[in-house]
Structure 1
Amino acid sequence: MPSAARVAHEHLPLRIHGVNLKIASVRREGSGDPVVLLHGFGTSKEDYLDITHRHEFAARGFLAYDAPGCGATECGDLGAIDLPFLVETARAVLERAGIGRFHVVAQSTGALTALLLAHAEPGRVLSFVNIKGVLAPEDCVLSRESLHHRDPGEYLFQLAERTRASSCYGGGLYAANLPNKVRRGAVAGYFRSMVELADHGDLLQKFLSLPCPRMYLYGEQCAGLSYLPLLDANGVELAEIPHSGQLPMYSNPVATWRQIAEFHARQLIPSARRW
């Protein structure tokens, strides 16, 4: 089994748009271009740490971090957080880590952050595994609903509690983690900007226009997404994970990592360069 001994946990002080951040990150140096892993709303960098146990990625460098408002990252002004803020944070983290070109594995709002960055700087992203990322208005049903409430954060936490008894794979684990992984003050900005981008950001076209190899990975409970045929027809590799829904890494991590590893095996070209 690959060793996690070379993994470094760090806190990176940054200042984005006048807001002080202390980014909780984990990284490992390795050969070739690194894999950048961006978590989704309500989750954290720890979702990806099984990469340290995957023999397929044993020699590959990687970087994961908690987004502002999430996990162990500290943020001086939660009200300043929105998707453009997250993109600027990603740029700053990558610059601090000395990462130029990279492969992306990202979920939910992390995938949306990666999409906006890749669209702005397409030459940097070598491949993109999009795990149930936001691409259309249909991906924002609950976030849109929460914005009609006086306190979107309180509504979100009430909604998460109800998922414990739902038929959604991974819902109970997500609900249990949410209070420790999201700051309530960040919810409104996250959701408002996400809904705005889903409605008016032409996200599907942005994803389809990326020049790099792309995979869209989703759980079987999400197989009814209306845009899946369009992705398939435009060269995006589809990966449906059985026995899972919005959170395939929670419900079926073995199949999820297998799909990611096989996709990367088709894309990665070994290199002696280190970062």
Structure 2
Amino acid sequence: MSPVRKLERFTLPLTVGATRIEVSGFHRGGTGTPLVFLHGFGSTKEDYADVVQQERLADHPVLAYDAPGCGASTCADLDAVSVPFLVSVAEQVLKVRQIERFHAVGHSMGGLTALLLADGEPGRIASFTNIEGNVAPEDCFLSRQIATHSHDDPDEFLARFAERVAGSRFYGGALYASSLPHKVRAAAVRTIFESMVDLSDHGKLLDRFLGLPAPKTFMYGEQNNALSYLPALAEGGVELAEIEHCAHFPMYSNPTQMWAHITDLVSRADADS
């Protein structure tokens, strides 16, 4: 078995628009095409730290970071944080880290961010593992709560949101909800969620995802296998990866199967390039 290759942590000060942020991330060097990981709402870069355990990915450089307002990353104006803002952050981080072409892996909010990033510069994407990133209005089962369960107090909204997720019938919900107050700043939630809903309702995301030329996998939990657009994805040449004993959070419920699919797509894309 190959030795674990350590991830090095970094802090990167940036200005996006007029907003000062400080990005907390980890990276490692390597000789292959870089792997870029974008986490979902209420999660952090550590969702992907077990990349070091994947022997078949051992030669690949790695980049993962906390979105502003999440984890250890900071933002001077939390009202500025939206999905388009996160795309701009990704563009700047990739530029500073001197990453041109890369394998994209994004979960939920991170999948949507990766989709918009790829749509803007499709030639940079070697492969795209989309882990239940938003592509249709029905994907807003969490984010649309900003309207259906609106509350004037951001902290109270996040607390009630966590209670609802924790009490759901879905795999991983209680584990995810237990760390929400520690992983996302309440003041950033409204603008993030509102932008996710607006893009899902009006952004023609499914067409944009299908139009990407790179090899693509759409990963989803078995409890979400009734998503209406799955047949359209399959017909459009997207590889579907259903994760057993899982809902929206494969990194919590079935990480072994999640990593197997990520590794398989990356390896095949590298072989074909």
**TM-score where L is the length of structure 1:** 0.95
Residue 109 (structure 1) shift: 0.6
- 1:32 aligned residue: 32
Deviation at 1:123, TM superposition (A): 0.8
2:116 is the counterpart of 1:113: no
What are the superposed Cα offsets for residues 192-217 of structure 1, whole Å, 9 maximum, x if unpaired?
11111011100000000001000000
1:23 alignment partner, SS class = strand
SS in 1 for 2:242: strand
1:243 corresponds, among 242, 245, 248, to 245
Aligned to 1:20: 20
Decide whether aligned partners of structure 1 residues 165 and 196 sit closer, same or farther in structure 2, where only a CA change above 3 A counts: closer
Q: 1:171 aligned to 2:168?
A: no
Aligned 8 A contact 2:130 2:218 in 1: yes
Q: Give the aligned partner of residue 161 of structure 2.
A: 159
TM-score normalised by the chain length of structure 2: 0.95
Q: Quote the Cα distance in structure 1 between the aligned partners of 2:207 and 2:179.
A: 33
CA positional deviation for 1:244: 0.4
1:269 Cα deviation after fit? 3.8
Distance 1:52 1:140 in 2: 32
Q: Is the 8 A contact 2:6 2:52 kept in 1?
A: no
1:162 is displaced (CA, Å) by: 3.1
Deviation at 1:159, TM superposition (A): 2.3
1:35, distance to aligned residue in structure 2 (A): 0.5
Shift of 1:270: 9.6
User: How many angstroms apart in 1 are the aligned matches of 2:204 and 2:135?
Assistant: 8
Identity %: 51
The residue matched to 1:105 in structure 2 has which SS? strand
Distance 2:155 2:254 in 1: 28
Partner of 1:142: 142
> 1:32, 1:269 within 8 Å by CA — same for their partners in 2?
no
Cα distance in 2 for partners of 1:32, 1:269 equals: 11
Corresponding residue for residue 233 of structure 2: 231
Residues 158 and 181 in structure 2, CA contact (< 8 A), matched pair in contact too: no
Name the count of aligned residue pairs: 271
**Residue correspondence of structure 1 range 255-274 to structure 2 within 5 A:** 255-269=257-271
Provide the C-alpha distance between the structure 2 equivalents of 1:152 and 1:224, rounded to a whole number of angstroms.
32
Between 1:135-144 and 1:182-191, the stretch displaced more is 135-144
More deviation, 253-262/4-13:
4-13
Q: CA deviation at 1:171?
A: 0.7
Question: Would the alpha carbon gap of residues 170 and 69 (structure 1) be closer, same or farther in structure 2, given more than 3 Å must change?
Answer: same
Partner of 2:72: 72
2:182 counterpart residue number: 180
Counterpart residue type for residue 229 of structure 2: Y
**Structure 2 counterpart of 1:89:** 89
Q: CA deviation at 1:98?
A: 0.3
Give the Å deviation of 1:189.
0.6
Say if 2:129 and 2:219, in contact at 8 Å, map to a contact too: yes
d(CA) in 2 for partners of 1:169 and 1:21?
33
CA change 1:116–1:153 in 2 (3 A) is farther
Distance 1:263-1:117 versus aligned 2 partners, 3 A rule? same
Rounded to whole Å, the distance in 1 between the matches of 2:81 and 2:112 is 14
Partners of 2:182 and 2:30 lie apart in 1 by 31
Contact persistence 1:39–1:109 (CA under 8 A)? yes
Query: 1:183 corresponds to which letter in structure 2?
Result: R
Residues 31 and 270 of structure 1 are in contact (CA less than 8 Å); yes or no, is this contact kept in structure 2? no
Quote the residue 2:57 is aligned against. 57
> How far apart are the structure 1 equivalents of 2:211 and 2:155?
34
- Give secondary structure in 2 for the equivalent of 1:142: coil
User: Cα distance 1:247–1:29, how it changes in 2: closer, same or farther (>3 A)?
Assistant: same
